[in-house]
Chains A and B, each alone.
Chain A
Amino acid sequence: MSRTLKQKLFEPPSIRQMAPGTKIIVYSILLLWTLFVLFPIYWVFITSFKTAVDVNAGPVFLPFIDFQPSLHAWKELFVFDYKDTLKAYSNSLIIALSSTIASVLIGSMAAYALARFEYKPKFGVILMFVIMMIIVFFAVGRYGVDWRLSCAVGVAIFVFLARALGHHFTKHLSNGDILFWMISQRILAPIVVVVPIYLMFQQVRLLDTHLAIILTYTVVNLPIVIWLMYDFFRSIPYDLEESAQLDGATRLGVFWDIVLPLSRTGLAATTLLVMILAWNEYLLALFLSTSKAQTMPILVAAMNAGERGILWWSMSVVIIVMIIPVIVLAIVLQRYISKGLLLGAVKG
């Protein structure tokens, strides 16, 4: 059976149809790559059953042959120190899930608004707001004015000026500028803002709480959600929403019946990405938590800072239990990630 030009150009032949020699080469490349990907996981897995002697004695690969597996690391973490481990585990779950839900919820709503409505914030008004904020900060910090009074007066003056002078400004920004401003929040390396964030939460006495870390993660991940979901919502033809409106659906009904089902691929992918980012985040958690709100990455790091040296076996145990939720989530969400969801909607 000869292949069409389109197949020759764009569809690689299936391995079954290849010549035997090619087949062997392809399979060995695939095998090599599989080993490359799976070996670290295997290594972590067996290390979690090794004793200190086995780890330090040099590479040993096969349980029961090279070394005798032991449950000592698992026992230590889940029997003797189970309180600390479970605490960090539940902290991580609570923080990652809450911040993921919050950022996906808020971010996708913002993205939908940016994709569907045109905003024209006046440049002059924004500038006025920024200047007013600087003045308020100076008043509070430098001259010791009461912050409540200062904020109230500042806001009042801003509203008054914006109302009076707003229509004189002609230069205005567009949705593109708002989007760029959003993503610019991610251009700064987190290390730059981590100290101000620390001081801020110290001021309001929220250090070492779930709330502080959830809020920070939500804000940090919002730009990613907005950026990804904006593209996704844009790809849904507006005709579909107008059509649903004419069919009698309310604004919310349109979102529920049409937009949400059609963007579930994007939502699933974004959720997974943001969840992984929050789950693995280290730097901000290190600053914002000390003991009560400690997350798993902090626990992993603690394994190589103790006076007993690097506890490879314990670290491996923690890493394995850390991987599990991500795998579960990926399997659950994978069902929603499908291609060609929009096919047939409009004449292409």
Chain B
Amino acid sequence: MTVVLDAVSKSFGAVKVLHDLSLEVQDGEFLVLLGASGSGKSTALRMIAGLETVSQGQISISGRDVTEELPKNRDVAMVFQSYALYPHKTVAENIGYPLKIRRLNRIDMEAQVRDVASQVQLDELLERYPRELSGGQRQRVALARAMVRRPAVFLMDEPLSNLDAKLRGHMRAELKHMQHELGITTIYVTHDQVEAMTLAHRVALLEGGKLQQLATPRTIYEDPANLFVAQFIGSPPMNVAHGTLDAGTFISGENRVATGGNDTVKNAVIGLRAEDCRVVAPEDGDIKARLFANELIGDHTLVTAKVGEDMLSIKAHKDFEASFDQPIGIAFDSEKIYLFDKDTGARIRNV
């Protein structure tokens, strides 16, 4: 089912936490709301759930305006960050609670609970209480409770953030597979860019209550709309340097980079991803630098170089070795650079 947010705003008193957010989530889509804490992503999700009122704008689910509907009438299921399991109910009762409220008869209810429980491998634990379960198992119960009544939309508020790193990776894959199997529209909130990139069909990146970019993970990585998106996505973050644009050349200190483009603004920011740089001999590089540190990550070596006062990260071959303060050259293809307007952060595209 589709979810449409039309210029939705939210204010708490004088503080505006969400500015005219417009989104269209397609049927069966996995949309991730990504942002740092305080970006308004959780508020947006809670508004779709009906747990927060809408200050301005309209929310529709499956073509029906639900802006003024109670949560229970929206046909959405939510998985909370804290799981929010009912501690006085067994696993089976927890999963069956949405069905019990809908007055489903006992036999159907038990069958459906069993069915869902086996999908998330909880068959053996149905009679346990939440306090007798591990974190991962509790997570599964919360998931099963959301799945059991086949809602129009799944809402997930950082469901994996309380799990340890190994289990998180495992649950991520399971979640992606499950969403594909069920084909239920899912809106997922996270601050973790890896989760966003791996899970989403499309990512909506929020900052300061404003939508920065809504695109597929590939587009958002390769074609960021502005400086914020470019710096938020990617690990290590995109290298940036401040400078001026003049006659198709970016000038920063003693370094000059041919941009081959227009000079619509004077003050600009240049961006370059770590994996698009190569370490070469000092005289062969586009930029001269000094080696600040090199760290072997495993499949590559992360080289930090000092260019003037700026730091630059480069992903080099894992066999790369060099000594501190050694002069090096950095080479890159000119089509791999990104240019941004320094004042607005907007992307400057070549014509």
Contact = CB atoms under 8 A, between A and B. Distances in A.
Contact of B86 (A246, A250, A253, A345): A345
B78 A344 contact: no
A341 B87 CA distance: 7
Interface in A293-348: 340-347
Given A258-B86, A346-B82, A247 B131 contact: no
Contact of B80 (A242, A262, A340, A344): A242
Given A262-B87, A344-B87, A345-B87, A246 B72 contact: yes
A247 B87 contact: no
A244 interface: yes
- What 7 A-B pairs have minimum CB-CB distances, sorted nearest first? A344-B131, A344-B130, A346-B82, A343-B131, A239-B84, A243-B84, A345-B87
A248 B98 contact: yes
Interface bin, chain B: 20 to 34
A250 B103 CA distance: 13
B18 interface: no
B71 A245 contact: yes
A347 B138 contact: yes
A342 B71 contact: no
A242 B72 contact: no
Nearest to B101: A248
Interface of A: 237, 239-240, 242-250, 253, 257-258, 261-262, 340-347
Nearest to A238: B84
Contact of B138 (A242, A258, A340, A344): A344
A347 B101 contact: no
Interface in B148-195: 149, 162
A309 B18 CA distance: 79
17 contacts: A240-B84, A240-B86, A242-B51, A244-B86, A245-B51, A246-B50, A246-B51, A246-B72, A247-B97, A248-B101, A248-B102, A343-B131, A344-B87, A344-B132, A344-B138, A345-B84, A346-B83
Nearest to A243: B84
Nearest to A254: B72
A335 B326 CA distance: 75
B135 interface: yes
Nearest to A253: B101
Nearest to B163: A347
B70 interface: yes
A242 B84 CA distance: 9
Contact of B85 (A250, A340, A345): A345
A302 to B, nearest CB: 47
A320 to B, nearest CB: 38
A244 B78 CA distance: 10
B196 interface: no
Nearest to B129: A344
B72 to A, nearest CB: 5
A258 B84 CA distance: 11
A174 to B, nearest CB: 14
Given A239-B80, A240-B86, A344 B72 contact: no
Interface in B121-138: 129-133, 135, 138
Given A245-B51, A247-B101, A248-B72, A347 B88 contact: no
Contact of A237 (B51, B84, B135): B84
A242 B50 CA distance: 10
Nearest to A260: B88
Interface in B204-234: none
A346 to B, nearest CB: 4
A340 B130 CA distance: 12
A263 to B, nearest CB: 10
A76 B102 CA distance: 62
Interface in B77-114: 77-78, 80-88, 97-98, 101-102
Contacts of B49: 242, 246
Nearest to B141: A344
Contacts of B88: 261-262, 341
Given A246-B72, A247-B77, A347-B81, 5 more contacts: A242-B51, A248-B101, A341-B88, A347-B83, A347-B138
A276 to B, nearest CB: 27
A95 to B, nearest CB: 34
Contacts of A249: 72, 101
Nearest to B75: A248
A340 B131 contact: yes
A345 B82 CA distance: 8
A241 B243 CA distance: 53
A262 to B, nearest CB: 6
B132 to A, nearest CB: 7
